[in-house]
A and B are shown apart, each in its own frame.
Chain A
Amino acid sequence: MGSNMAECHPVGFQWVMEARLKGATVIHVDPRFARTSANASFHVPIRAGSDIAFMGGIIHYICERDAIFRDYVVAYTNAATILQDDFKDTEDLDGLFSGWDPEKHSYDPGSWQYKDVEMHPSAGQREAPGPSAGADRFGGHGGLLAHGDPPHRDPTLQHPRCVYQILKRHYQRYTPELVEETCGVPRALFLKVAQALVDNSGPDRTSSFVYSVGWTQHTVGVQYIRTASIIQLLLGNIGRPGGGILALRGHASIQGSTDIPTLYDILPGYIPMPHAHEHPSLDEFVGRNAARTGGWGRMKPYLVSLLKAWWGEHARPDNDFAFSYLPRISGDHSAYQSALDMLDGKVKGYFLFGENPAVGSANSRLHRMALAGLDWLVVRDLVEIESAAFWYASPEIESGELSTTDIKTEVFLLPAAAHTEKDGSFTNTQRLLQWHHAAVEPRGDARSDLWFTYHLGRIIREKLKGSAEPRDRPVLELTWDYPLKGEHGEPSAEAVLKEVNGVDAQGKPVSGFLELKDDGSTACGCWIYSGSFRDGVNQTARRKPGREQTWVAPEWGWAWPANRRLLYNRASADPQGRPWSERKRYVFWDPQKRRWTGEDVPDFTPDKPPDYEPPADATGDAALRGTSPFIMQADGQGWLFTPAGLKDGPLPTHYEPHESPVGNPLYGQQSNPTRQLYRRALNSYNENGAAERYPFVMTTYRLTEHHTAGGMSRFLPVLCELQPEMFCEVSPELARLRGLTNGGWATISSARAAIEARVLVTERVKPLTVRGRAIHQVGLPYHWGYRGISRGDAANDLFPLALDPNVHIQEVKAATCDIRPGRRRR
């Protein structure tokens, strides 16, 4: 679901094909019958934006039949935990939870807590009351966690206020009939999916979910994934081989780019970024963000080691380990907010590394206008992408909305080396780091990002040398001494990896994050990657063939953390530490050796026995029981119900996309109440009143032949041949309705813009019957822009900025449009 894996990850999809050949059932749920559907066991057509209703239906199905994996659920999830008395569900408040503040436009999660326990998110900042509300509301997840075990539980799962009963009640109206009415999925087909899942889960069998941006790119994106988590926890599929929820990541190391982040609100290893006003000292920061119990209890050693890695000898106990040198966030600095700030003249300069917002970001037109508001722009890429050419070649230039002579932005276009021309690592879905070696030298002036960043820093430091300004010290005192090689002075990527791995007081590589200390004797660039260079060997470069090792293949590459291939694998054994079944044996307790053992690195304290009971004053990992596999949660449990950490509710709820032709069938609350909207000129919305103007659902997706915003594919003849033009996919019914001809032109319009595309009429897109009406969907590949060999209009021009409130991801998988025959007017 939420993924077209064969299309977007064809090489990875070979493993799915292999599984099918071994007899696995593969189900593809997607608005279109796509290349994945063609190779699945069967396809389920679904209205874009209704996945929570679908999965909620599965939860309903499981609960109604009591088809849960009971032993797993009772022991490993918070199903038995009893909630506070004043919690109100969406069933009570017509689509809202208790604690909604319409003025602040946010929830106070106070009423969502466990009875008599103050819970906080697993990591990150809790909602701070008082003066720091407002801009400081933003930031990563973090907060102080209280003691492990909740005081009130009902292991029989009968108590009316226990999580399991609340869950059942929350989804009581998500019947197969409702799924058919809301999602357009025929009852029988839905039931086939639900039954298949139930039949293939339990002690002997596991099922897995695979998703990508078809789930995340919604205003309820995070809740989509949460719904799948609930299903998988109820069926006992988490932490077990063949189970889990896989987020497909790996294009351009996108997993790596959140691990060692390019995100504004987190530090390496998902430590939250400090706020300007919230965290005057290191200990206060740790106090507010670390957990007293569970895996995040060790935040201080991770953070101190990070500071030592960055500032070396200048990070000392007496200066808080240079904690004040860390940049601070003061609000929302996400990509979309930054673009809006550019429009308003608040952001002067911009670096774009391998990113093409003029085509790839939601409301790409707005982004092109935003770039025109910069003083300077540095673009590093393989070709002159649209974002570098906006000042002379965009549709806005063509229409006269922007004029080259009036744009004051100074654009620097610098050639970048390709991945074959530099050393480095990619991190993928499996948290697997795989090293790649430069095969050839980059040509001409092309240089790697590592080279650029290092030498930019070097030059800045040279210019600042001798400065007495306090604000220059963080730059001057950085450790910036990587060995350089070759005629261009390419920094050694392996040296960077060594720094990321971490070293002890003697400068020797540490073996893992458990060796990191909070006294400044260790340094480590990213605690979750610690171990990737253990024993002085680049573990990520290992390539032992699969047939020469166990089926887990631990000697191919290196997975974080600690080369653990399957997280939470304590859950693959029962509370007594025995495998749930011989067939699914993975990690289990060896009573003779008194250690956890098995196929993989145990995700558990190696010598903590299954019957371990924590003493009352225990902290950190010691506060978790021997039967608590979810060690990053304060209570060690898988959270069916999320008492803290998410802005839009403790239970996933079906909300309509911000732009939808359909009224919410379940609640008066139409869409996610906490979704982020930006009401301004370039971002008008099709609010419900104008439903007739834009009556169709539109969705974006990829094609195998092209890559993201086109910089790596639309400039190559061999790929342009395969998909030479921007096109839209429509059903024969919609084509008849609007007079579209196959191979002809169409203009697709939304409340923001209009684009043109060739027409592909196909039965793979079907109108779905939703609430008694035929809902038509228009499919739009999003790869095209105005440069390259193959040029076309950008699909993202049509979509609004409407973001998920937790992670600020844009909703480009469902919005509304109209479509008419003919080319766009110029």
Chain B
Amino acid sequence: MSSSQGPFLKAPVWKPEIGAYLFSGGLAGASAVLAFVARSRGNHRLARRALLTAAAGAAVSPPLLISDLGRPERFHHMLRVFKVTSPMSVGTWLLSGFGAAIGVAAASEVLGVLRPVGLAAEGAAALLGPGLATYTAVLLTDTAVPAWHQAHRELPFVFAGSAAASAGAAAAILTPAEAAGPARRLAVLGAVGELAAAAAMKRRLGALAQPYEREPVRRLDRMAQSLSITGAAILGLLGRRRPAAALGGALVLAGSICQRFAIFRAGFDSARPR
């Protein structure tokens, strides 16, 4: 019979910049932790590179977010309130705090000044880093989108794993191989954790995981798996050689990016099935 039809929900209005931010924020947060721990173990070569990676991630994140706003010139309105019920509000403050800390830490490292302040800032960033890497999962799950909302138990672990994998992979690419051991191990741990958590998430979603079986999400999701696994294997088995580490790291990074976008796009499909 002829009737008004269609789904009830609205698809998110976010552009790919937000998907990119999921990656850059996670990379930044986990890199800050990696940098801090490396520093504390005396691995300054690794620490430096992880620190600068964290700063780079922190630097590109605000422009990505601001450009997605409908009224970019009003970005500062985000700082009018602090609302626990709004992951975006929490995240704004997290990112602001993290950005300030990592900026100070990076500047101190590069310029070689105010080292005590810089080291304290590294500590602060490392404290905020895990939050930065995982709050974005809450950002997505705190919506009505079924494939996101119902994934709220697993998605933070997917993002944590993905952030760890990215941080480890980036550091493995940038750091001389003999100092990059922990980075390689982190990348493998992260990739395994990411994929395991993602599998658990889809199992729990059941029928709601349909978007992962449809294009374009399906391809992104499969690529995420194959890239991460391959990259992790190369890193793990052949990572002592710099070229292999670079390749493995690049594959893991690519896999992580695909994973972020698969989940991001899955939300659109879940809200508005075609």
Chain A residues proximal to chain B, CB less than 8 Å:
742, 760-764
Contacts and interface: CB of A to CB of B under 8 A. Distances in A.
Interface in B1-15: 1-2
A760 B3 CA distance: 11
Given A762-B2, A763-B2, 6 more contacts: A742-B2, A760-B2, A761-B2, A762-B1, A763-B1, A764-B2
> Per DSSP, are chain B's interface residues mostly helix, strand or loop, or mixed?
loop
Nearest to B3: A762
Interface string B1-44: 11000000000000000000000000000000000000000000
Interface residues of B, number: 2
Interface of B: 1-2
8 contacts: A742-B2, A760-B2, A761-B2, A762-B1, A762-B2, A763-B1, A763-B2, A764-B2
A761 B2 CA distance: 7
A761 B3 CA distance: 11
B4 to A, nearest CB: 13
A520 to B, nearest CB: 65
A764 B1 CA distance: 9
A697 B211 CA distance: 47
Nearest to A742: B2
A733 to B, nearest CB: 14
B1 to A, nearest CB: 6
The 7 A-B residue pairs with the shortest CB-CB distance in the complex, in nearest-first order: A762-B2, A763-B1, A761-B2, A760-B2, A742-B2, A763-B2, A762-B1
A763 B2 CA distance: 8
Contacts of B2: 742, 760-764
A363 to B, nearest CB: 31
Contacts of A761: 2
Contacts of B1: 762-763
A173 to B, nearest CB: 38
A762 B1 CA distance: 7
A760 B1 CA distance: 11
A742 to B, nearest CB: 7
A742 B2 CA distance: 9
A115 B1 CA distance: 59
Contacts of A762: 1-2
A723 to B, nearest CB: 14
A742 B1 CA distance: 11
A763 B1 CA distance: 7
Nearest to B2: A762
B6 to A, nearest CB: 14
A732 to B, nearest CB: 9
Contacts of A764: 2
B95 to A, nearest CB: 41
A761 B1 CA distance: 9
A160 B1 CA distance: 54
A764 B2 CA distance: 9
Contacts of A763: 1-2
A791 B126 CA distance: 64
A763 B3 CA distance: 11
A39 to B, nearest CB: 17
Nearest to A761: B2
A744 to B, nearest CB: 14
Contacts of A760: 2
A67 B1 CA distance: 41
B5 to A, nearest CB: 11
Nearest to A762: B2
Contacts of A742: 2
A441 B1 CA distance: 48
Nearest to B1: A763
A119 B2 CA distance: 55
A800 B186 CA distance: 84
B19 to A, nearest CB: 33
B8 to A, nearest CB: 21
A762 B4 CA distance: 12
